[in-house]
């Protein structure tokens, strides 16, 4: 399955960035829809609201993004309908990891890197890193893809505990500046979304 995926190498090009703030989790992806060396769209939304308080940002194979993303989304909905309450972010992240891990040795590999941002009443905001090899980590700030090389030093230097939404957005803007200045691939637009107690909100729509 790996060999069949010509876009495999391309998965690393997509940028997925996240950080945890005072009472929110902020996720950002680039808005390119790329096909080999051609960028077909500049307004592609690579995020998916899994439920009221969970946001999944993805980078990698675009077919998997839709098929696998929706598969997770529908299974989370099914759980909530069956049991009367949604899964916690921690449980959902581990469920997601298990599904990616299953694909690894079953010929149905999911070629996606994920950032899962969630908000739970008791735990507050949280961010989970999950890559296509099913490595799962709970983190405060992190990025996937080549853009991570440019963005990680900025996150390391500028992230602080308990940032306001404005402060978080400022850090994300610095990340965008770094990518646009130094990364070989043209990334003119980014999608920025936030998850908090009120749910999922779009700060910057794909293509803006």
Partner 1 sequence: ELLEAAMSRRYDSRTTIFSPEGRLYQVEYAMEAISHAGTAVGILSSEGVVLAAEKKITSKLLEPSKSSEKMYMIDEHVACAVAGITADANILINYARQAAQRYQFTYQESMPVEQLVQALCDTKQGYTQYGGLRPFGVSVLYAGWDAQHGYQLYCSDPSGNYGGWMATSIGASTQAAQSIMKQEYKPGEMPLQAALQLAVKVLSKTCDSANLTADKRARARARAPSPIGL
Contacts to partner 1 by CB under 8 A: 83, 85, 87-88, 90-91, 94-95, 98
Please count the other Cβ atoms lying within 10 Å of the Cβ belonging to residue 174: 15
Residue 50 to residue 41: CA distance in whole angstroms: 24
Using the minimum distance from each CB to partner 1, give the nearer residue, 98 or 153.
98
CB of 95 to partner 1, least distance (A): 6
CB of 168 to partner 1, least distance (A): 27
CB of 83 to partner 1, least distance (A): 6
Using the minimum distance from each CB to partner 1, give the nearer residue, 93 or 142.
93
- Report yes or no: 148 and 88 within 8 Å, Cβ to Cβ: no
CB of 85 to partner 1, least distance (A): 6
Using the minimum distance from each CB to partner 1, give the nearer residue, 121 or 157.
121
Phi, psi of 181 (to 5 degrees): -80, -40
The candidate with the shortest Cα–Cα distance to 176, out of 35, 33, 32, is 32
Using the minimum distance from each CB to partner 1, give the nearer residue, 88 or 173.
88
DSSP string for 18-33: EEE-SSEEEEEEE--E
């Amino acid at each position: 399955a790996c060999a069949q995926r010509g876009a495999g190498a391309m998965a690393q090009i997509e940028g997925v960035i996240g950080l945890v703030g005072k009472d929110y989790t902020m996720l950002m992806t680039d808005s390119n829809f790329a096909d080999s060396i051609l960028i077909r769209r500049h307004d592609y939304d690579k995020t998916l609201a899994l439920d009221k308080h969970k946001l999944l940002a993805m980078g990698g194979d675009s077919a998997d993004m839709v098929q696998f993303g929706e598969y997770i989304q529908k299974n989370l909905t099914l759980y909530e309908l069956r049991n009367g309450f949604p899964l916690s972010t921690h449980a959902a992240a581990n469920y997601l990891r298990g599904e990616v891990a299953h694909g690894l040795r079953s010929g149905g590999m999911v070629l996606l890197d994920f950032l899962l941002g969630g908000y739970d009443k008791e735990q507050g905001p949280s961010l989970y890193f999950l890559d296509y090899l099913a490595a799962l980590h709970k983190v405060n700030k992190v990025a996937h893809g080549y853009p991570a090389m440019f963005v990680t030093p900025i996150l390391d230097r500028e992230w602080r505990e308990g940032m306001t939404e404005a402060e978080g957005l400022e850090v994300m803007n610095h990340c965008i500046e770094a990518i646009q200045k130094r990364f070989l691939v043209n990334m003119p637009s980014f999608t920025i979304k936030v998850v908090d107690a009120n749910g999922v909100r779009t700060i910057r729509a794909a293509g803006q």
